[in-house]
Amino acid sequence: MKKLSVSLSGHQTSITLEPEFIDALHALAARAGKPIATIINEIDESRPANTNLSSAVRVWVLNQMILRIAQN
């Protein structure tokens, strides 16, 4: 597990993810032409209230990978 520090709505926070999810998040952010912080902010704003941010990021990465597979 690795910690990733980001600023959300002006305050620093960190999320803990497996290295594979961090690598995928970096790749997907680069592909979208967005900073990782922007992607995480978007995930944070759209996640259900009862879902922690690390889980929401994992689900987002999984969904992005599923969409990429479906497009091929």
> In this predicted structure, what is the pLDDT of residue 59?
97
Structurally, how many domains does the chain consist of? 1
Residue-level pLDDT at 72? 78
Q: How far apart are the first and last CA of the chain?
A: 31
Backbone angles phi, psi at 17, to 5 degrees: -140, 160
CATH number of the structural domain spanning residue 61: 1.10.3990.20
Predicted confidence at residue 28, as pLDDT, reads: 96
Q: Identify the H or E element spanning 7.
A: strand 2-8
What pLDDT is recorded for position 8? 87
- The mean pLDDT values, 10 residues at a time, for the chain of 72 residues are 91 94 96 94 94 96 93 84
Q: Which pLDDT value is given to residue 10? A: 87
Range of the domain at 30: 2-71
